[in-house]
Structure 1
C-alpha cells in the first residue's frame, strides 16, 4: 500500500507541484494560463490542506476494495466506462433514489474518495514496477488552461471540484441505509446496469483494471435522454445473462450481437426444460387413467420420456430447439414481444412475417397463429444460430457468410434483442 507521502507526491504532480517534500506543509496550487504573455498572465490559486489530505488518505486506506470496487458496509463505488466521451458533458449527477428499500444510486463523476483510491492504486503499481518517472496517466498531466472554468462563486477551485473532472471517467455509487455485503451491492449494480442499458440502448461497461481505465481508445456515439434514468431499478437480474446482454450492446458486429443475445436464451434451457418435463410427467402420473399396474401405461410413460429427451444428431434440432420453445413460452408474451420489436424498428414485424432468413432458410413468423407462432419464432432463431456457429463446407447453403450476409443478419437483431430483454425481465425477482 502506498504511503501517505507517496500519495501526496502524486497529488502534487497532478496539480503541477513537482517538488513535494515529506513534511506536513499544505500544497499551494497555481493554475496559470500558458497562452497569456508574461505581463498578462492570469492566475487562479487554491490550497490543498495537508490535514484534509491526510484525513482523505486515512479514509481511503481503511475502506475495503477489490480491483476497482471500493466499498464499505453502507456504500459501493465502481468506475464505469460509458464508451462515449461526449456523454461526460451531460448534466451530472443522475440520482435514482429507492426510498422503499433505502438504496440510493448516483451516476456521476467519481467521489473524491474514489479519485484518491485510484491515485493510490497508481502509486502502488509504480512502486511494484520500480518506475517513479513513467507509468503516469497522461490525462492527469494535461495543461490547466481549461480547468479554471470549473470554479465559480458557489464552488471555488479546490481538490474536490477539480480532481473528479481530471480523472475524466464516471462512476456508479450505491449507498444503503443498512449495512449490506459486497455480493448484495453487486446485485444492485447489475440491476442498475441492465435498467440503464435497456432504457438508453448504450452499453454500461466496467473497466477490467486501472491500466485499461487510463488507456482508453473508445469511439463516441449519440446522446442519452437522462430524464428516463432517474428512477431506481426495482428488480434483481441474473448477473450472467446481463453480462451477455452487455456484450451484445457493446459490439457493432451483428454476429456477436446475435450470439450474445442467443446466450441469454440458452442460459435458461436446462432450467425450463426440466420444469416442463416435471410438470408433464406429474400430469401423466396423476391422471386417473394412469395405473402403475398397467404395463402398457408404464411403457407409454417410458416412450414419452425417451422421445422428450432424444437428440437428433443428424439435424441438430433435438431438445435444444424444444428447450428454446419452452423458454419462449415461459418468459415471452407475443404482444409484449411485438411492441418491443416495433419500438426498435417499425417495419420489423411485417418483415419477419413475410420474409425468411435466406442464408439459413429460417421460416417466417406467423404472428396471428396463436398455436404455431412460438414454434416458428424458435425455428427462426435456432436455424439462424446454427448457421452462425456451424461452418461445415458440406452445408454451404445453410452457412452464414460474413460480410456477404451481414446486412440480412442485422435485420434479425431486433427480434433476438427483444426476446433476450423479455427473458431477462420476466426471469428477474422484485427487489
Structure 2
C-alpha cells in the first residue's frame, strides 16, 4: 500500500487532527513548545515500510495474508462497563487450533497512519471533525485504562488514540496465509463471541464515511451553542422523540427507522383526509346521482381501490400514505438544496444508484415535475424501510446488518432531512 505521502504531509495531518502545532526537532516530532515526544522521522519511515505489503479492502480494513486490522466501535448497554475497564487492555486471545491471535484494543501505529490519510481524503470537515478534540497536553487526556498507560502512549499517535472515544481496532494475526474472506469470518466470529458472553458489541466499521457522516450536516447548521436562538415554534412531542432517537443512535437501521416513524405518524390522518376529499369531490359532481347504480358503483370502486380488505381488517397502502405525507409536508427543492450543501455528490447518487438491498429504484430530485419526484421518493423510502424491517428468506432483496450499513448510511442524510421537513412543516406558532 503506497500512501503517496511525505513527512511534511504527515506532520500537517497530525497537527490538524490534534488541533495543535506539531514541529520537528532533532529528527523527532514535538507538540507545541513541549519536549520532543515522537514519533521520530525514522519511526515514520519504518511505519510506511510496514504498510507497504498491506492492502485496503476499500473500506476500513487493511490486511495481508497473515495480518488483518479493522476499526471497530464499542456498543454496550449503559449498565455494562466497557471491555476496556473490565480487566487487561488491550484484550488478547490465542487460538492454538486455528493458529490465530486476536487483539482488541487501540489501533496500531501503522493503522493510525493509514486512518488519518483516509479520513483526510474525505475533506477537512468530514475527515477531521470526527476525531478532533481539544489540544493535547501530556497527561491530560485519559485513555481507556489510565492507570495502565505505558510510555508509548505519550506520542502523537498516542494522543490520537486517546482522542478516539470507544473506537478501537480488532487485529487478527495468523501463522499461515488466509484469504480476506476467511479473515473477515474470523473477525465476525470473534465479535459474536464477545457479544454473547460479555453483552458488549464491537462492530466493524465498514467505511470511514460511517465515522464522520454526521459531521456533514454541521455544515448547514449553527456549530456553536452561543449562536442558537430560542425556539419560535411548537413541535409535536412524539415526532421530537422519534427524531431524537435517530440523532442519538450510532446504528444506521435504527436511525433510518426513527426518521421514518416521523413520516409514519401522519399516515392514517393524511390518508383519511385524502379519502374524504376524494369521496366529497365525487358526491358533489354535478353529474353524480345516488339514484344511478353506475354512479354508486363508481363511488364504491373509488373507495375500494384506496383501501385494502384483509379478513376483518380494513387497511390502506402505506406507500401511498407516505406519498401523501411527502406531498403535504416536504419541500423537494429545500431538500435538494440542503443535500447539495451537505455533499454535492448526494443528489446525483440518489438519481443514479438504486439501493442494492431494496427494490427501491432511483429518485431524481432535480426533476421538474414534483409529483414524479414525490412518487419516486416515496418508493425509495418505503422499499428501504421494508428491506430493513423484514428479513424473511425469499426472492426479495433484504438488508443484512453491518454488511449493508455503508449503503444504508448513504440514505440517512435524505431521510433525516425529510423527517426535519415534516417536523417543521407540521409545527405551530405559539398562541
TM-score range for the pair, normalised by the shorter chain length: 0.3 to 0.5
Larger radius of gyration: 1
Normalising by the residue count of structure 1, what TM-score does the alignment of the two structures yield? 0.46
